Structure 1
Amino acid sequence: MESEVPLCLIENVKGRLRANKKALEVLSAITQPVVVVAIVGLYRTGKSYLMNKLAGKRTGFTLGSTVQSHTKGIWMWCLPHPQKPDHTLVLLDTEGLGDVEKGDIQNDCWIFALAILLSSTFVYNSMGVINQQAMDQLHYVTELSDRIQARSSHDQDDGLEDSADFVSFFPDFMWTLRDVTLRLEADGRSLTADEYLEYSLKLKKGTSEDDKKYNLPRLCIQKFFPKKKCFVFYPPAEWKKLSELESLQDEELDSDFVRQAEDFCSFIFSSSKAKTLPGSIKVNGTRLGILVQTYLDAISNGAVPCLENAVTTLAQLTNSAAVEKAAEHYSKQVAQQVRLPTDTLQELLDVHAACEKEAIAVFMEHSFKDDQLEFQKQLLNLLIERKETFMRQNEAASLSHCQAELDKLSEFLRENILHGVFSVPGGHSLYLEARKKVEQDYERVPRKGVKASEVFQNFLNSQITMEESILNSDKALTESQKALEAEKTKKEAAEKKLELSKQQQKETEEKMEALKKSISEAIGQMEEKILKEKDSLLREQERVLDLKMKALEKLVQEGLEGQCEDLKKDIKLREEQIRAMKENSASGILEGTIGFFRELLLNVLSSQIKRALREM
């Protein structure tokens, strides 16, 4: 869902942050994966201009032309992605950091942290080159471990230890340098923007307090954001025109600035990825809205947003919705494909199997992190209940249809009985002929359904007393003939009853076979999903390990052995986790699942047998 203009996503009201209901409604309507680009930086550094360029608009996000900060809270603009038609671009413009009018550094820290938590590409915007003053202004990054908790329980004392977990959640980092007038160079040679950023992030080898203070923000950036990019912008125009920036045409701006802005947008469009969570879980608008509310709830309650808890909350809500979506898909498809009553039970069971397979696939597509199979079990029990409902409706439709048809066909027989047509010598023979005709006509009725035999059996049972009366009053028959006819009638009734019993037994077997196939299909789909998720997690762990190894190699090359101990411990732990993931097969995970299915099968079998016995 596209928003025509930016909406305030997170309001900042007297220092309290709260979600905007209308913006959450816009997000909830976005089912596509979202590429989320957030920009932060000191106030009056031109953040909104860059975001408007990404939106392909001249205006939208407010550009301030005075020393006052215009953007309050976090504003959102949802747009079709210009290069990925199956994605939505979500731009987040944040209020300026360091606004003297606010006088609340805690509020700035939360804005900074939320921009990181919600984005897939995080842009830090600053003026001029990267010097110690610029690094000091980026002190917010050093407080991330105080503002964000990776896991719900951990026993590490140093927040930097969480960086291994943060890497899986955190966005790509981009530093945009505005109004740069100096040439980028070091040690007498020119540097590209990316080389300049890497040079600026180099650590000092000393161990003094000043060295530690110098290294801390650089170390945080290196640990939290292994993937980094830098863009440099020359001044867009002479300073007198800067207050009119949004009204200036490109030809009125510095040509280098225009090209740099185009390069920036092109890189964002081509390289920024969809927002993902550990396990390659893609975030759509609905999920992004849930994350917003979950993080803000934690902040308003005085707690630190926990990434693991946020994912758990998201999984609970997403999986509940996935169960409902899958169940509704099943009901809709069965209703569309079945005309009640079905001719046979197997016809309904075949439709059920196909629709159940689709429903489970829908659930698998929209669910994630159902580690205890809680929602998978809910869905299967729900599908069994809905199948039973459809079978009862099918039986009721068959019963009603057959009874109505039989009533019409046997009307002539009832009238003849009422008028004493069969109360004459030879009447029993006439009665049998009339009843036979009813049976033959009934057999020709199409789509009688699963209750056809039972309805006719009930009809025959209702005729027993009348037939005995006609037989006994038939003076054309001797006593021995009457006895033979009575015996013949009993034999036919017993055969009909046996036939009905066999049909019911066959239907019970068909139900059980269908259930076994459904369970087998569900296990197969689940195993495929578990293996896929495991493979995604493994690739993600290996990617993070590779980034950590490169960071370690770089520190060693720079002679910073003293900065490597924590990184070495992190690498060793991650290597052990990867080894354990490779050794653990999906069969162990599925063992409990199969146990659940066995129990489910036994319960349904017991229920079906009891029902069959009652009907016999």
Structure 2
Amino acid sequence: MASGALMPEPLCLIENVRRKEFVVNQEAAQILSDITQPVVVVAIVGKYRTGKSYLMNKLAGRSDGFPLGCTIQSKTKGIWMWCVPHPSKPGHTLVLLDTEGLGDVEKGDSENDAWIFSLAVLLSSTLVYNSVGTIDQQAMEQLHYVTEISERIKVTSSKGAAREENETSEFKRFFPSFIWCVRDFTLILELDGNAVTEDEYLMNSLKKNADGERDHNLPQECILHYFHSHKCFVFVQPTSAKDLKHLENLQESQLEPMFVQQAHTFCDYVYKNSQPKTLPGGHTVDGRGLCHLAVTYIDAIRSGTIPCLENMVLALALIENSRALQEALSMYEAEMRCWEHSFPTETQDEFLNIHKLSEEEALRHFMGRSFKDDTHEYQDQLIRDLGEKMKGFSQRNDEASTNLCKALIWDKSEALETMIGDGVYLEPGGHSLFLKDKQTMVDAYFATPDKGIKCYEVLQEFLKDKEGVEAAILQADQALTQSQKEMEEQRSQAEAAERDRQILQENNGRLEKLMEDEQRRYEQHEKMLREKMEEDSLRMIRENEWLIEQKLKAQQDLLSAGFNQRADALQREIQDLRNQRHSSSRSSGCVIS
């Protein structure tokens, strides 16, 4: 599936079968796996019955889809998925993830909620947190799941104090952007008598409470530290309380105009600013990659282990690189088969040019899809496999030439064979007539175009087969003296030797061309490898630049919010990133100001 056009309604992606027992729905997984486009993943979390599903339906361009429910009972269980064509990013699929409500009294299981929250963070490129009323201490306490993430997710598989110290500093590489939606907001956006924006309202709410215990301030600190951007939207109540139960059946004209405008502003922002899901190093995830991540995370949770992001990326790289290898080989085969109808090629150069064009397409595809192939294992394997496939097509090209030339000789020599069978050449002067007719046949053979590169070999095989017949005709020709017969034998042997020499020269020329092509392929391989390494290095430099920018912003936000200790720790992380930047710049030959 290239887009979400085949998914008319949501489907449960991760089923919450029993208490803390998650299962990936295979039907949804298959739909996701069929998406070859980059995916922009927007997940929404929040307390149950706060209108999360309504916002997700609006993002899908619908008023229905995700169940809204009209009772105090939570409608959404597990994590539901809806894949739709992205409305403003052509060639991308928008994947909407609606999660079951946090704090559902029917579950009575905070650990279940913590895993739902963690999965939403891990799978999304934009995380929407939905709450009701205001952003106050109670709202922050309901967001305590963010403080537990470091206990449920680890970045690297290494152990020890160094890992513990640096673990959360890498979360920004993996974590989504953060949007807080405040529903049924009735306050005036003012602070100390001055009007403020929604974002300023959020940042003020994330300030440290000097009178509070550290645990009370931990959600604010984690939001500022973990997520790489922070956005806020406030919504008035959409309609009267009595009409809320029918919200999905109401037209926009029946809703509060302010709410309609706020919902449109929210959707426009998400469409424009939510980025495709990417992994550290800049690899863009498609539906198949997202499905693999979901399955791997769920397998880790079910086994009781803590998901390791670094290992998840490496595992995905193995799958993606294997897939990139097979797709590149299939692409080469498809390209070559498009040319196979024109086999045989007239020259070796013509065949090698077809191979070169097909190989370049395959290599470009592989380079675009593969990532973290640090040992070049898959690229080396691709070069070897392409070489083997080239040999196969070369053999088919030779066979096509051989078959065509044999059929042509059979046709052109039919009259000669008939006269041999009728004994026409056994009369006096028959040898001279035979040579004349044989040359006529050879001339007609060479006059026929597009015989391919086995032209001389097939002809030589035919003429060698007729050497015995020619010798018998020569000896039977009473018009020739013995001396003339000996001279004719010598001439015939010289012609055969010259043909052998031509064939040897031609085969040596083909071998030389193959060796030149092998050298070209090696040089091309080295060139593309260098380009890939430079591209990866530049991508890492850009990612580090982005991360430095985000951490500088987070540092300022933490200082403004009063989290001085965390801000000081960020300064060390920023300096480490700057050191990495200069090291990477020198190795890649780039200049970073």
Using structure 1 for the length normalisation, give the TM-score: 0.90
Q: Establish whether residue 548 from structure 1 lines up as the match of residue 538 from structure 2.
A: no
Q: How does 1:259-274 map to 2 (within 5 A)?
A: 259-274=261-276
Q: 1:495 aligns with which of 495, 498, 504?
A: 498
Encode CA deviations 1:190-242: one digit per residue, 9 max, x unaligned.
43211111111112457xxx531122111111110131001111222332332
With over 3 angstroms needed to count, the CA separation of the structure-2 counterparts of 1:507 and 1:158, relative to structure 1, is closer
The equivalent position to 1:167 in structure 2, one of 159, 165, 172, is 172
Question: CA 1:56/1:519 → structure 2, altered by over 3 Å: closer, same or farther?
Answer: same
Residues 1:14 and 2:18 aligned together: yes
Distance in 2 separating the partners of 1:285 and 1:156? 36
The answer for the alignment partner of 2:566 in structure 1 is: 563
Structure 1: stretches of 5+ with no match in the other structure: 588-616
- Give runs of aligned pairs for residues 114-129 of structure 1, distance below 5 A: 114-129=119-134
Structure-2 change in CA distance of 1:434 and 1:139 (3 Å): same
Of 266, 277, 280, the residue aligned with 2:279 is: 277
Residue 401 of structure 2 aligns with an amino acid whose one-letter code is S
Moved more, 551-560 or 4-13: 551-560
| 1:578–1:199 Cα change, 3 Å | same
Letter matched to residue 566 of structure 1 = A
Matched, 1:320 2:319: no
Distance 1:560 1:410, change over 3 A: closer
What is the match of residue 355 of structure 1?
A: 358
Cα distance between partner residues in 2 of 1:258 and 1:481: 109
Change (3 A) 1:321 1:529: same
Distance between the aligned counterparts of 2:259 and 2:427, measured in 1? 113
Comparing 371-380 with 536-545, greater Cα deviation is found at 371-380
Change (3 A) 1:100 1:157: farther
Q: Is the 8 A contact 1:76 1:90 kept in 2?
A: yes
Report deviation, 1:7: 0.8
SS in 2 for 1:584: helix
The whole-number CA distance in structure 1 between the counterparts of 2:299 and 2:201 is 39
Which stretch shifts more, 136-145 or 479-488? 479-488
Instruction: Check the 8 A contact 1:527/1:586 in 2, yes or no.
Output: no
- In structure 2, the partner of 1:248 is 250
Displaced runs of 4 or more, over 6 A? none
SS of the aligned residue for 2:424 comes to coil
Aligned equivalent of 1:296: 298
- Give the corresponding residue for 1:601: none
CA distance in 1, matches of 2:302, 2:264: 39
* Paired residues of 1:398 and 1:450 also in contact (CA < 8 A): yes
Partner amino acid, structure 2, of 1:358: E
AA partner of residue 12 (structure 2): C
Do the aligned residues in 1 keep the contact of 2:207 with 2:562 (CA within 8 Å)? no
1:128 aligned partner, one-letter code: G
- CA–CA distance in 2 between the matches of 1:511 and 1:414? 38
Partner of 2:84: 79
CA separation in 2, counterparts of 1:312 and 1:560?
34
Q: 2:28 aligns with which of 15, 19, 23?
A: 23
Counterpart code for 1:301:
S
Give the match for residue 38 of structure 1. Answer: 43
Is 1:155 aligned to 2:183, yes or no?
no
Residues 1:384 and 2:387 aligned together: yes
Task: Measure the CA separation in 2 of the matches of 1:543 and 1:513.
Answer: 44
Q: Distance in 2 between matches of 1:288 and 1:482?
A: 83
Count the aligned residue pairs: 584
CA contact (8 A) 1:145 1:159 kept: no
Say yes or no: does 1:179 pair with 2:184: yes
CA distance in 2, matches of 1:586, 1:371: 19
SS at match of 2:129: strand
1:539 aligns with 2:548: no
Does residue 95 of the first structure (1) align with residue 100 of the second (2)? Answer: yes
Q: Distance in 2 between matches of 1:175 and 1:557?
A: 19
Q: Choose the corresponding residue for 1:212, options 214, 217, 227.
A: 214
Counterpart for residue 517 of structure 2: 514
For residues 272-293 of structure 1, what are the alpha-carbon distances to aligned partners after superposition, in whole Å with 9 as ceiling and x for unaligned?
1222222222222222112211
Shift of 1:98: 0.9
Letter in 1 for 2:15: E
- What is the aligned counterpart of 1:67 among 64, 69, 72? 72
Does structure 1 residue 468 correspond to structure 2 residue 486?
no
Query: Which one of 453, 457, 460 corresponds to residue 460 of structure 2?
Result: 457
Determine the C-alpha separation between the residues in 1 that align with 2:254 and 2:165.
Answer: 47
Matched, 1:408 2:406: no
Q: Which amino acid aligns with 1:414?
A: E
C-alpha distance in 2, partners of 1:59/1:156?
50
Q: Distance in 2 between matches of 1:158 and 1:178?
A: 39
Structure 1 letter corresponding to 2:65: G
The CA deviation at 1:502 is 0.3
SS at match of 1:103: coil
Deviation at 1:527, TM superposition (A): 2.4
Q: Partners of 1:144 and 1:219 in 2: how far apart? A: 13
- Which among 427, 431, 435 is matched to residue 430 of structure 2? 427
Distance, in Å, in 1 between the alignment partners of 2:226 and 2:306 is 18
Identity %: 46
Distance in 2 between residues matched to 1:559 and 1:230, nearest whole Å:
20
1:524 lines up with 2:524 in the alignment? no
Q: Shift in Å at residue 415 of structure 1?
A: 2.8
From 571, 576, 600, the equivalent of 2:579 is 576
Specify every segment of 5 or more residues in structure 2 that has no aligned partner in the other structure, as ranges.
none
The more displaced of 385-394 and 401-410 is 401-410
Match of 1:135 in 2: 140
Q: Tell me the residue number matched to 1:106.
A: 111
Q: Look up the SS of the partner of 2:84 in the other structure.
A: strand
Q: Name the CA shift for 1:4/1:561 in 2 (closer, same or farther; >3 Å).
A: closer
1:10 CA displacement: 0.9
1:496-519 CA-partner distances (Å, limit 9, x unpaired): 111110000111111122222233
SS at match of 1:84: coil
Contact 1:34-1:285 at 8 Å conserved across structures: yes
Q: Please say if residues 205 and 560 of structure 1, whose CA atoms lie closer than 8 Å, have aligned partners that are also in contact.
A: no
- Which amino acid in the other structure matches residue 4 of structure 1? P
Q: Deviations over 1:331-350 (max 9, x none)?
A: 22222234111111211111
Q: CA deviation at 1:438?
A: 1.9
- Quick check: 44-53 or 560-569, which moved more? 560-569
User: Helix, strand or coil: the match of 2:73?
Assistant: coil
Instruction: Name the structure 1 match of 2:338.
Output: 336
Further displaced range: 241-250 or 479-488: 241-250
Letter of the 2:261 partner, please give it: R
Structure 1 residue 564 displacement after superposition: 3.5
Partner of 2:206: 201
TM-score in terms of structure 2 length: 0.94
Asked if the contact 1:141/1:220 (under 8 Å) is kept, the reply is yes
Corresponding letter in the other structure for 2:186:
T
2:588 to 585, 588, 605: 585
Whole-angstrom CA distance in 2 between matches of 1:226 and 1:398: 63
Is residue 397 of structure 2 the alignment partner of residue 394 of structure 1? yes
Using the TM superposition, name which of 27-36 and 485-494 deviates more.
27-36
